[in-house]
Amino acid sequence: MEAPRIGLLRLQKWKTPMKPMIEARSLSKRYGEVIALDGLDLSVPEGTILGLLGPNGAGKTTAVSILTTLLVPDSGTATVAGADILASPREVRKNIGLSGQYAAVDEHLTGFENLDMIARLYHLGRQRSKSRARELLERFDLADAADRPVKTYSGGMRRRLDLAGALVAEAPVLFLDEPTTGLDPRSRTELWSIVRELVNQGRTCLLTTQYMEEADQLADDILVIDHGHEIAHGTADELKMMVGGERIALSLQSDASMDDARAVLIRYSVGELHVQGRSVTAPISGGAATLTEVLRALDSEGVKLRDVGLRRPTLDDVFLSLTGRVARTDDEETDISEQGVALEEAS
Amino acid sequence: MDNIKFALADGVVIAKRNVIKIKRVPELLVSVLISPIIFVLLFAYVFGSSIEIQGGSYREFLISGIFAMNLTFSATLTGAGLAEDMQKGIIDRFRSLPMSRSAVVFGRTGSDVIYNVLSLIIMSITGFVVGWRIHNGLGKAILGFGLLLLFAYAMSWIMAYVGLLVPSPEVVSNASFMVIFPLSFIANTFVPAENLPTPLRVFAEWNPVSSVTQASREFFGNIPIGTPDPTAWPLQNPAVYTVIWVAIIIAIFAPLAVRRYKLAPTKS
């Protein structure tokens, strides 16, 4: 069970409101019968990260493709760094860096050759391109591998190189499309700290992710989308408030004591109990003091626990309660009860 | 002016990248260069043993046909290369950069000329070994090689467009096989066109693969002595006819390929 996580690692920023660097109004896009985007609005102030959160097929990549001029929307308008994506796409391209879901680097080229090529295509000039490539390889801890073909790189190294590619021209606006999907936890944490640093330097970033934790860790503002439109919007804390406060989560040693456990929990709970196998969660108020009382009561009833914890709602809970599905699934139709188990075990 | 400068510079950057790839994946280069050798040897010794050409040697007659056929086939590399870039998502990266919108396709067709030059050299050497000779002097021979390369460049543009249309490199090879095989066989590449049944003969006479073959035979001096003059206009003026085709193909397919590059669906 997850320990209470209050303001863990979250960088507090006190920033004066700035002009939006990315602004989109009612973007729509359909592919035949499939509606990929259905009137999406978004706005990202300068120097902040917007987390675009949603399951596979929610429209995240379509939104990024449109904002980076790879795709033309059916309707709607957008500006990036003040330039209209439809009227002056070239201006937009000068001001953006894109790092894709699938690490779009050339695996036959070396790390250096990849970055040098990208720099040349941003028209940095021959000398500047070379030095910029070396600089970035150094900074992303790839200097030792700089002259090896990318196909010898690990997944994490590729992602770092891909991200470095997005930074070549020091573009003020970054689009990171699921930058950590498929990465191991260590590489993921590494990438997060790089992204934080970039934004602390004043860059603006739109980040798409299926990982609630990622949005929670990085984003100043979170836009939850599903089926191509907004279903919730706010800071991580605001979104968590929407699904209520803290809860006790416990799992029992045997099924037999479930009725006793429920009887105790009902006395302290401020909402409905959620039972899943031998696990129960109960919304409470009063935090650790309540938890202590509950434990005493359970002990006097002779209920043996396997695990117990006080849990704040995660963004997973937010997503689950908003859509009836968890975000992190490859199977869109998996029903809630099955996912509920997976969720409990994961947390 | 700046636009043209950037378009050229960007095209060179892309071409350079493709050349690095040729060096890093020598397997591809080897297969590209070995197949011409096999074709020359197979046709020279298998067909050459039973096909008699009045007033000349079949092997000398054959080589220009092999040149034309191989260069037509090697255009598939252009398509496969672009399809692979699409599949791997690199095209998405390029399209998000403030680079020229025509650089990726121009860079690709440009760098693939290297394959064609190398395979022409290999075929010429193999041809020389089996008895092919240039009879009309170096100047005309250079014209012959130039025309072959020009024709190959035009074919590259067709396949560039196809490569950007299809979902994977394998589809390019399969799709092009259906077109390129008949195109390079219903021609005067391996046998004189006059002996074909009428519908095939007419097709062969107007087929640009025939005209480029005919033109290079003339430039290299490989037309057997006593061969009656061709009756069809394209074969009477093979170089002009080939250049017209090259111009038409590039005029149609270069803009189509660039447009397709701009609008190509993103990877996911």
Answer yes or no: is pLDDT of A341 > 90. Answer: no
Residue type for B198, please? Answer: T
pLDDT for position A80: 97
Give A209's strand partners.
A53
Query: Would you state the structure tokens that stand for residue A270, as one six-digit string?
Result: 């401020």
Among candidates A223, A191, A178, which has minimal Cα distance to A23? A223
Answer yes or no: is pLDDT of A6 > 60. Answer: no
Q: Which domains does chain A have, with CATH numbers?
A: 20-241 (3.40.50.300), 242-346 (3.30.70.980)
pLDDT for position B179: 85
Give A35's strand partners.
A30
Interchain proximity B92–A106, CB inside 8 Å: no
Q: Residues A324-337: what's their mean pLDDT?
A: 44
Rounded to whole angstroms, what are the CA distances from A129 to A113, A119, A153, B8?
A: 10, 5, 22, 17
φ and ψ at residue B175, rounded to 5 degrees: -65, -40
Query: What is the C-alpha to C-alpha distance for residues A283 and A270, in angstroms, rounded to an integer?
Result: 6
pLDDT for position A340: 34
Q: Residues A317-322: what's their mean pLDDT?
A: 75
Q: Per-residue confidence at A240, pLDDT binned at 50, 70, 90?
A: confident
Give B96's contacts in chain A (Cβ within 8 Å).
68-70, 93, 96, 98
Residue type for B226, please? Answer: G
SS3 per residue for A106-151:
CCCCEHHHHHHHHHHHCCCCHHHHHHHHHHHHHHCCCHHHCCCEHH
Taking an 8 Å Cβ-Cβ cutoff, which residues of chain B contact chain A? 6, 9-10, 13, 16-17, 20-21, 24-25, 88-90, 92-99, 103, 263, 265-268
CA distance A70 to chain B (A): 6
pLDDT for position A330: 41
Question: Which parts of chain B sit beneath pLDDT 70?
Answer: 1-2, 267-268
Query: What is the C-alpha to C-alpha distance for residues B85 and B94, in angstroms, rounded to an integer?
Result: 10
**In 3-state terms, what secondary structure has residue A35?**
strand
Interchain proximity B92–A104, CB inside 8 Å: yes
Answer yes or no: is pLDDT of A178 > 80. Answer: yes
Residue in chain A closest to B15 (alpha carbons) equals A117
Q: How do residues A9-58 score in pLDDT, each as one tens digit?
A: 344 444 445 689 999 999 999 988 899 999 999 999 999 999 999 888 88
Higher pLDDT, A280 or A6: A280
Non-local (6+) Cβ contacts of B175 within 8 A are B162, B166
φ and ψ at residue A245, rounded to 5 degrees: -90, -145
Interchain proximity B99–A96, CB inside 8 Å: no
Query: What is the C-alpha to C-alpha distance for residues B127 and B121, in angstroms, rounded to an integer?
Result: 10
pLDDT for position A338: 34
Give A70's contacts in chain B (Cβ within 8 Å).
92, 95-96, 266
pLDDT for position B77: 92
Q: Which helix (H) or strand (E) holds A186?
A: helix A185-200
**Per-residue DSSP letter, A15:** -
Across chain A, mean pLDDT equals 84
Q: Which of A38-42, A98-102, A234-238, A334-338 comes out lowest in average pLDDT?
A: A334-338
Q: Which long-range contacts does B200-206 make (Cβ < 8 Å, 24+ apart)?
A: B202/B232, B205/B230, B205/B232, B205/B234, B205/B235, B206/B232, B206/B234
CA distance B99 to chain A (A): 5
pLDDT for position A155: 86
pLDDT for position A329: 44
Interchain proximity B96–A94, CB inside 8 Å: no
From the list B9, B24, B266, the residue facing A70 with the nearest CB is B266
Query: What is the C-alpha to C-alpha distance for residues B112 and B74, in angstroms, rounded to an integer?
Result: 9
Q: How do residues A255-292 score in pLDDT, each as one tens digit?
A: 888 888 888 888 888 877 888 888 888 888 888 888 89
pLDDT for position A344: 36
Give B99's contacts in chain A (Cβ within 8 Å).
121-123
**In 3-state terms, what secondary structure has residue A183?**
coil
Q: Residues A143-162: what's their mean pLDDT?
A: 93
Q: Could you write out the DSSP letters of every residue in chain B? A: -HHHHHHHHHHHHHHHHHHHHHHH-HHHHHHHHHHHHHHHHHIIIIITTT---TTS-HHHHHHHHHHHHHHHHHHHHHHHHHHHHHHHTHHHHHHTSSS-TTHHHHHHHHHHHHHHHHHHHHHHHHHHHHT----S-HHHHHHHHHHHHHHHHHHHHHHHHHHHHSSSHHHHHHHHHHHHHHHHHSSSSSS-GGGS-HHHHHHHHH-HHHHHHHHHHHHHT-SPTTPPPP-SHHHHSHHHHHHHHHHHHHHHHHHHHHHHHHHPPP--
Residue of A90, A120, A173 to mutate, testing the B interface (most B Cβ within 10 Å of its Cβ) = A120
Residue in chain A closest to B90 (alpha carbons) equals A104
Q: How do residues A57-115 score in pLDDT, each as one tens digit?
A: 889 999 999 999 999 999 999 999 999 999 999 999 999 999 977 658 999 999 999 99
ipTM of predicted assembly, 2 dp:
0.89
Residue with tokens 């092009």: B176
Higher pLDDT, B57 or A2: B57
Give B97's contacts in chain A (Cβ within 8 Å).
93, 118, 121-122
Please give the radius of gyration of chain B, using alpha carbons only, rounded to the nearest integer: 19
Percent of the residues in chain A that have a pLDDT greater than 70, as a whole number: 87
